[in-house]
Amino acid sequence: MKDWDRVHDEIGKLIEEGVIWGASYGFVREGELSSFYRGVQGAVKPWSERALGPGMFYDLASLTKVTGTAVRILQLIQEGKLEFSTPVQAVLKRFSQPEIKVENLLLHNSGLPAEIPDKASLTADNIRDRLYETRPEAAPGERYCYSDPGFMLLGLMVEELDGTSLDESYRKHIFGPLGLNQTSYHPKGEMGQFIPEEHTQERGWICGEVHDSKAYLMGESGSAGLFSTLDDMLHFVKAWLNQDERLISRELFEKVEHTCQFDRTYGWGVEYGPGTLYHSGFTGTSILMDVDTGEGLVLLTNRIHPSRENVEFLDRRKRINRLWLGKN
């Protein structure tokens, strides 16, 4: 049985103890949405003087993989433009590995590494070439490795097949049909609507532009880069839990929800057990769904503000997820 009240308490403690500065979070329950905004945007002025509220944009980071890229790839499979067994090289001719298939990338079992090697030397001019040249560390299907390059390749496949940018593709095929008008790679709003992220030597305060360095170089990436609000993410989760066919067919929903290899399904993780789908983003975002009960939890924070050294939040979030699922 889910412990909704303790989730509220635990998030409150995170803010009171200074683990995070604030949180925008909400639930999908019995088809109804509930939203909560607690704390402030950040650690220093002007963000420390701005209370969190509706309409504020979070860098979703790797939630891009499941709210955008995986959905569009599944749609392309549904449209007959791809198959799970399609070799990536059949679409991306310059990719160097003919044996890796679409399904391998979706399941993170392609053998590709977690990052493009020698990441520090990447530039806007060389990142695509380096991505195409990335070599696997294991045979496809042999083991799990959460791979940003894998989803970057899926994003390039979407661009190639749709003949347009990722932003245009996802707005046309995913966000537009669902009415998610605040979800985009290039959100429009006042600076006070954007949640601050990390301060780095190279870029200073990052706010209103993507944090992920690879997505920053590419402009738009299948692995990261979308921005959204709590309200849009709650409506996305509601659509998924309702098996809304504006996303994908019921047959594909069932395939996603009943596939499990190395605690993964297509895009999503299932580490919290059968009947759950989970994904998080490096910036401090996460979605957890209990597909059996039709309930969902969206938690948006900027845990990397002012620094990515804040790792305590990661363990505390696991506790929140388990509390919500009634496993603590």
Question: Rounded to an integer, what distance in angstroms lies between the CA atom of residue 42 and that of residue 24?
Answer: 13
What is the per-residue pLDDT for 162? Answer: 98
Q: Where are the domains of the chain?
A: 4-325
Q: How far apart are CA 17 and CA 266, in angstroms?
A: 36
Each residue of 239-279: pLDDT tens digit? 999 999 999 999 999 999 999 999 999 999 999 999 999 99
Integer Rg of the chain from CA: 19
Q: Which residues are within 8 A (CB) of 114 and not within 5 positions of it... i.e. 6 or more apart?
A: 145, 146, 147, 148
User: What pLDDT is attached to residue 85?
Assistant: 98
Residues 67-84 as b or e (16 or more Cβ within 10 Å = b): bbbbbbbbbbbeeeebeb
Cβ pair 233, 298 in contact under 8 A = yes
Specify the pTM.
0.97
Mean pLDDT, the chain, as a whole number?
96
Work out the average pLDDT over 233-241: 98
The domain made up of 4-325 has a fold known as Beta-lactamase (3.40.710)
Predicted confidence at residue 275, as pLDDT, reads: 95
pLDDT digits (tens, 9 = 90+) for 31-87: 999 999 999 999 999 999 999 999 999 999 999 999 999 999 999 999 999 999 999
- What 173-177 contacts at long range (C-beta under 8 Å, 24+ apart), as own/partner pairs, is 173/71, 173/72, 173/75, 174/67, 174/68, 174/71, 174/72, 174/75, 174/247, 175/232, 177/246
